[in-house]
Structure 1
Amino acid sequence: MVLGWGRRKNKKNNKGGKPNMEVVVPNQFRCPITLELMKDPVTLSTGITYDRESVERWFNEGNYTCPLTNQVVRNFDMIPNHSLRIMIQDWCVENRQNGVERIPTPRIPISPLDVSELLFRVKESAKGLDQYGCIGLVQKMEKWSNESERNKKCIVENGATSALALAFDAFANDSIEKNDIVLEVILSALNWMFPLQLEAQKSLGSKASLHCMIWFLKHQDVKGKEKAIIALKEILSFGDEKQVEALMEIEGVNELLIEFINKRISPIITKSSLRIIWYLVSSNSNFNEKMKFSFVELGLVSSILHILIDSEKSICEKALTILDSLLSCDFTRETAYENDLTIPLLVKKILRVSPLTTEYSVSSIWKMCKYGNKNYEEKALIEALQVGAFQKLLLVLQVGFNDETKDKATELLKLMNPYRAELEDCIDSDFKNLKRSY
């Protein structure tokens, strides 16, 4: 084990029953930052030696000085101090009987040149559609990344996402079925490199790449589906309308996303599916209205209400975000009015889950009570009063919500007020006697 302080007691008594011994770690073997035994000593341009991990963390936190001397460091090169490392290893061996384990010889960190050379070969293998060559190179990159966080950072900062996205597009363009293994390997590597750079996003958002993602969602196991849907969510987060339209042209996408949120295969897939649906229904695409209608026809409103019954905070927030966006359309409101759970669940979420769920719940109720035909509006207002909306909206005005939410709450209170006389005995429903329409 690596010792953290200057002294350590040996827990084992020796045969003569002598008292436990203390192992003293020489000061020159300890990192000046953490005072722990150095595993990978490196020397800065100031001449001071530190443990690599500690001094890298120091610089990553935004410091530009040598921790011990406080001198400004103008050259951030870290020179391995091999002599000191060997001395530390020899000292560990000498004290092995006292419970000290020898520190392993550290791997040499990769350089930007190492990454550039490997990525050049990745691009060449992709051009030649050499899937086995590409797999080997990506696996080598993965091995580097597993060695240290520094290696991960070096890989990403030197263009790995762009190179891998180009390779993914090349193999997807050739044949998804034939190249499924290399495509999965590339996608797996890309998953820990997110967020994407713009150039990488364009390649990964090509028509061929999007078709491949959907193919993975249909044919891969749960882990494969998770990688694909995370990538798809990352692509759509850029708000590129052409990519949204390209995705919507793929047959069965809407049905697949609804299936994922209904079956809840895994939390990752559920949350990502909801986020993707939100990107689609809130886009400025020419297909926006058609897209919303399609989702509502497939039962999205009922699916969201089912989610609101018993889901955790982040899933509830995503579901309500979608519902609020959908309720801007007449046909969605009509569907929502027909479901007996809509108003009770929306009222239930006010001041219950998080500030965000309150804001979207108030907004959704406001849209249902303000727009649409009068019969539906009146029904919604009365139902909201019956399940305790008036009291909750009064509380919303007293808590620190944004002006828009407070304005909507105020307007709802005014709309509900004429109906209060008939409904003095308002209660907060537990939904046990409500009919579910799904």
Structure 2
Amino acid sequence: MAFENLADRLQETFKKIRGKGKVSEADVKQMTREVRLALLEADVNFKVVKDFINRIKERAVGQEVLKSLTPGQQVIKVVQEELTTLMGGEQSKLHMSNKPPTVVMLVGLQGAGKTTTTGKLANYIRKQQNKKPLLAACDIYRPAAIKQLQTLGSQLDMPVFAMGDKESPVEIAKQAVAKAKEDHNDIVFIDTAGRLHVDDALMEELENIKEATQPDEIILVVDAMTGQDAVNVAESFNERLGLTGVVMTKLDGDTRGGAALSVKAVTGTPIKFVGMGEKLDALEPFHPERMASRILGMGDVLTLIEKAQATVDEEKAKEMEKKMRTMSFTFDDFLEQLSQVRNMGPLDEILGMMPGANKIKGMKNLKIDDKQIGHIEAIIRSMTPAEKTDPDIINASRKKRIANGSGTSIQEVNRLLKQFKDMKKMMKQMMGMTKGKKKKNPFNLPFM
């Protein structure tokens, strides 16, 4: 998970002051020392860390904190606000031109994931804003770059404009914009050539494409795994091209995340999107305030809701709620739910967005094995329709048959049956259907 090490360090630091009735300057000094170390270890730019710590010190020893009723919590609020400001303050959206087509030029070094990001970004804009994109293949140097973009276009059912590798990238870009006007495409994504490092020839070509197409957005694609190098690359591109935004790829694989915390402060260029996986829909708009909440262990409910809205069928959800209320929830329904939740992304990432998840014992080291979920699905699919509807009829011989049919053990079948039973009990509590008993806290879940 992105920022994992930094999140652990900061959350550990804030535990010490969270419940304090009084926070002294010595407490603030100790806390900021630990925060400074945590940020430097996360590969955040040294100057950025220095300015950030100074702002926190200034606010944390001020009247708003020392005279508040809960000074410990107030200090954490100050850190959250400053962390949000550091990453850009608020979400920076893609600028759409009033006179279509909007031209988006993607730039970056080789290996940052620029061509794949071109496809992901076009896919996102089409889904979210109902636009009609055109992809332009202007990388004539890297072997198979044009073919890669055409393959992505085919997978996404999107047109790709290409003129082979003999025409100049500037001419291809100009013709692509003309083609978009002719075919009434709302937006053109220009996939430009990368290099192994920043050089004058590359920059000159990009400047010529910029002059020829007058792009509305110049987006730099950088690899979060390269740490401070990503920030240095952003500075170089920004000086020559005047970037309007950054897409940070592989943020799901970088446990430090320092580049994401430094890039806005160093270049003034906001992060607009982050790549969170290999799939073509694994691109998320970057929300600084939500990322700050995630880093400080406060969860990210809004992103969780958006993911659910994008993947969960509303009619099916209503039907499922009705079944839960009437306690007619079956293993078939459970399979359906499992499938919809998996579509939202990796389950450990989803759980990490829940507020307070970091405080649940064992949650920090929780790694949800996809293979294990596959076992659950195989067990359910090996049941007869009658067994799925009424698991109470599953006796010893049926368990043996289900285990053999799913390639699992009787112990695994028993475990799933018990978990399903516990889950139904929990639903009963949450729906307020426990009669004649004091209603239990719905969050005393059996598996927590």
Common fold by TM > 0.5: no
TM-score (ref. length: structure 1):
0.26
TM-score of the superposed pair, with normalisation by structure 2: 0.25
Which is helix-richer, 1 or 2?
Answer: 1
- Specify which structure has the higher proportion of strand: 2
If you compute each CA radius of gyration, which structure gives the higher value, 1 or 2?
A: 1
